């Protein structure tokens, strides 16, 4: 069983630790930052996986995933970004195991529900995949391209901006508008099928 530190060993802010890791590549910076949120990550994993040993394994796997993803992403606020990463890790694990995640956990406590994405929900049930694909096709070309690169190809805003020649703000806008339009489209399709 994990023992969580209530007193983080560092007086650095999240931003300073994140910057230290991105600048030097030294895992000690990322380790100190991750230690602050391990209890949160464990709680998210336990809620979705419903298995203490599996949740512990996921906490370790998520740290390994962080070492790869942090350098590639523009992270404005580490805690909500980490929460979404942990949730997505669990959803993907459950998808591979062909289990259904629980919906009892309220993500609003740590991250706004407005930032949840229909793509994450679609992985839990196969009928949603067809609806999602139809809705993706209904997006305008720029929104579709940005959403697909961000969610399916795991590209950062910066990567998408550089590849497309757009500003970060424009890419962010396309992703947010595309996500909103997908949500509306999926809700309309679900209502029609009822």
Give tens-digit pLDDT for 81-91. Answer: 999 999 999 99
d(CA 72, CA 11): 26
**Quick check: is 141 in a domain?**
yes
**Among 129, 153, 47, CA closest to 93:** 47
For residues 93 and 142, membership in a common domain is answered with no
Is residue 20 pLDDT above 90, yes or no?
no
Q: What is the pTM of this model?
A: 0.48
Give tens-digit pLDDT for 142-164. Answer: 988 888 888 777 788 888 888 88
Q: Residue 10's pLDDT is what?
A: 62
**Long-range own/partner contacts, residues 65-69 (CB < 8 A, 24 or more apart):** 65/89, 66/30, 66/34, 67/27, 67/30, 69/154
Mean pLDDT, range 169-178, rounded to an integer: 88
Range of the domain at 121: 117-194
DSSP states along 59-100: HHHHHHHHHHHGGGS--S-HHHHHHHHHHHHHHHHHHHHT-P
For residues 28 and 99, membership in a common domain is answered with yes
Last residue of a domain, one of 78, 112, 146: 112
Q: Residue 169's pLDDT is what?
A: 87
Q: Residue 116's pLDDT is what?
A: 47
Give tens-digit pLDDT for 23-82. Answer: 888 888 989 999 999 999 999 999 999 989 999 999 999 999 998 888 888 888 889 999
CA end-to-end span of the chain, whole Å?
Answer: 45
Q: What is the CATH number of the domain that holds 46?
A: 1.10.1740.10
For residues 168 and 123, membership in a common domain is answered with yes
Backbone torsions φ then ψ of 69, nearest 5 degrees: -85, -35
Q: What is the CATH number of the domain that holds 151?
A: 1.10.10.10
Element (H, E) at 194: none
For residues 63 and 34, membership in a common domain is answered with yes
């Amino acid at each position: 069983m994990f023992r969580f530190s209530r007193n983080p060993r560092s007086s650095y802010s999240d931003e300073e630790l994140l910057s230290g890791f991105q600048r030097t590549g030294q895992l000690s910076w990322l380790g100190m930052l991750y230690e602050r949120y391990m209890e949160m990550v464990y709680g998210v994993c336990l809620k979705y996986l419903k298995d203490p040993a599996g949740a512990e394994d996921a906490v370790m796997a998520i740290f390994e995933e962080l070492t790869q993803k942090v350098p590639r992403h523009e992270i404005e606020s580490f805690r909500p970004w980490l929460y979404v990463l942990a949730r997505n890790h669990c959803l993907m694990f459950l998808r591979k195991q062909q289990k259904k995640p629980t919906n009892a956990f309220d993500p609003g406590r740590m991250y706004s529900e407005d930032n949840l994405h229909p793509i994450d929900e679609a992985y839990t049930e196969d009928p949603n995949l067809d609806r999602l694909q139809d809705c993706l096709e209904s997006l305008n070309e720029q929104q579709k391209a940005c959403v697909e690169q961000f969610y399916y190809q795991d590209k950062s805003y910066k990567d998408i901006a550089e590849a497309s020649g757009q500003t970060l703000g424009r890419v962010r806008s396309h992703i947010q508008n595309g996500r909103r339009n997908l949500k509306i489209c999926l809700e309309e399709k679900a209502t029609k099928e009822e």
